[in-house]
Amino acid sequence: MSSGLRDIWVYLSASPLLHLTLTLLAYVLGDWLYERSGRLPLFNPVLIAVLVLVALLSITGTDYATYFEGAQFVHFLLGPATVALAVPLYRQFDKVRHSALALGVSLAAGSLTAMLTAVAVAAALGADRDTLISLAPKSVTAPVAMGITEKLGGLPSLTAVLVIMTGVLGAVLGSWIFSLLRIKDPRAQGFALGVTSHGIGTARALQLGELAGAFSALAMGLNALATALLLPLLYRLVS
Amino acid sequence: MVIRFLALLLLCQLAGESITLRLGLPVPGPVIGMVILFAGLMIKRGVPAALGQVSNSLLQHLSLLFVPAGVGVMLHAGKLADQWLAVVVALVVSAVATMAVTALVMSRLGRGTEAKP
């Protein structure tokens, strides 16, 4: 790098603009590849964007705190976006109301499956205590999951990563599981995506349609509540 | 008036955060904010056009908003390198099981409960 370019780089890498721009560009690239692949779930835009950004940051020797100074502006929008989920929920509320009992039972079944299978499998394969606690709430939307982990004495930032990984996995595997099990009801598809994969599942469900999206948004909210209440109880039973 | 409704979303979030802090609820502020906005829409019996616009533009690329947290994977590279097999297998098995169980229960119980058109 010539000294002129180096000066520009030093200046830019210290301002939040660079990493904000890179975050958007990486996502645009991910979204473009996803469309080009014919919406192949494996080409999930979040997955691609994260891989591209981690590679870039490692190559340039940038640490996460520096990156986050720029990326926080995107991260911040998670809050208002969560509030905005009330809109599709309201528009589809008539359909939601008719399935209240089914929703309660599915929520309980799904929420318990998410916590118990993750912890049981990881424990059997030798994961340590910190990892197990951080893993347990991985199906819950990131801010809640991090709060739960913190209360139980795990690692909140590890939980955030496991939450995102779970989100991407659910978005990638969802359609495949639904066709394997012949589940065509958009309410069941949306609800399962929301319970398993919180906001990333809801983003995927919104692509399937507004009805699936509304059930997914509802599932995400309910599972946050259910896990926040159940997990501390289960933890006390086990330890 | 798109700005007015963006302010409304932030206001709901702020109210949600305050309630969670004040009452020590285990639920995050934005989820309470969603409940507040939902209650408002029920009372008003309709979604103002500009609010629909704001929420669409936020939700259209909802998954973008998870990218910064996802990049945090680099903070835990060491821990994940030690236990990657346990973590990856647990995540995959649990995601498949949760998705299948929830969808199966919901589609069995939900049969015949569709809203009449």
Q: What is the mean pLDDT of residues A100-113?
A: 94
Domain that holds residue B54: 1-64
**Predicted local confidence at residue A153, as pLDDT:** 85
Is residue B117 domain-resident? no
Q: Does A238 have pLDDT greater than 90? A: no
| Nearest Cα to Cα of residue A71 among A160, A151, A153, A154 | A160
For residue range A10-38, what is the model confidence (pLDDT) as tens digits? 777 778 899 999 999 999 999 999 999 98
- Backbone phi, psi, residue A196, to 5°: -75, -45
B99 and A173 within 8 Å at the Cβ level: the answer is yes
Say whether both A229 and A134 belong to one domain: yes
Say whether both A53 and A105 belong to one domain: no
Distant-in-sequence, close-in-space partners of A122: CB < 8 Å, separation ≥ 6: A131, A132, A135, B83, B86, B87, B89, B90
Say whether both B48 and B101 belong to one domain: no
Q: Is the model more confident about A239 or about A194?
A: A194
Identify the domain boundary among B24, B39, B64. B64
Q: Is the model more confident about A113 or about B114?
A: A113
Distance separating alpha carbons of residues A137 and A227, to the nearest angstrom: 7
Identify the domain boundary among A48, A76, A104. A76
For residue range A205-219, what is the model confidence (pLDDT) as tens digits? 999 999 999 999 899
Say whether both A66 and A107 belong to one domain: no
Shortest Cα distance, chain A CAs vs residue B46, angstroms = 8
In this structure, are residues B106 and A103 in contact, taking their beta carbons and an 8 Å threshold?
yes
**Predicted local confidence at residue A144, as pLDDT:** 79
Q: What is the mean pLDDT of residues A96-101?
A: 83
For residue range B35-94, what is the model confidence (pLDDT) as tens digits? 899 999 999 998 999 999 999 898 888 889 889 988 988 888 888 888 999 999 999 999
**Predicted local confidence at residue B89, as pLDDT:** 97
Say whether both B23 and B48 belong to one domain: yes
Q: Any idea what the Cα angle at residue B19 is, between residues A91 and A111, rounded to 5°?
A: 60
Which residues on A lie below 8 Å from B35 (Cβ)?
A: 86, 221
Chain A, nearest residue to B75 by Cα: A64
Please name the helix (run of DSSP H) or strand (run of DSSP E) that holds residue A93, with its range, or none: helix A93-97
Say whether both B16 and B59 belong to one domain: yes
> Residue B113 — pLDDT band, cuts 50, 70, 90?
low
Identify the domain boundary among A25, A53, A76. A76
Across A217-227, b (16+ Cβ under 10 Å) vs e yields bbbbbbbbbbb
Which residues on A lie below 8 Å from B20 (Cβ)?
A: none
Distance separating alpha carbons of residues A134 and A58, to the nearest angstrom: 25
Say whether both A102 and A124 belong to one domain: yes
Domain that holds residue A202: 82-238
Identify the domain boundary among A21, A52, A76. A76
This complex has an ipTM of 0.87
Say whether both A106 and A168 belong to one domain: yes
Number of domains in chain A: 2
**Predicted local confidence at residue B116, as pLDDT:** 41
Is residue B7 domain-resident? yes
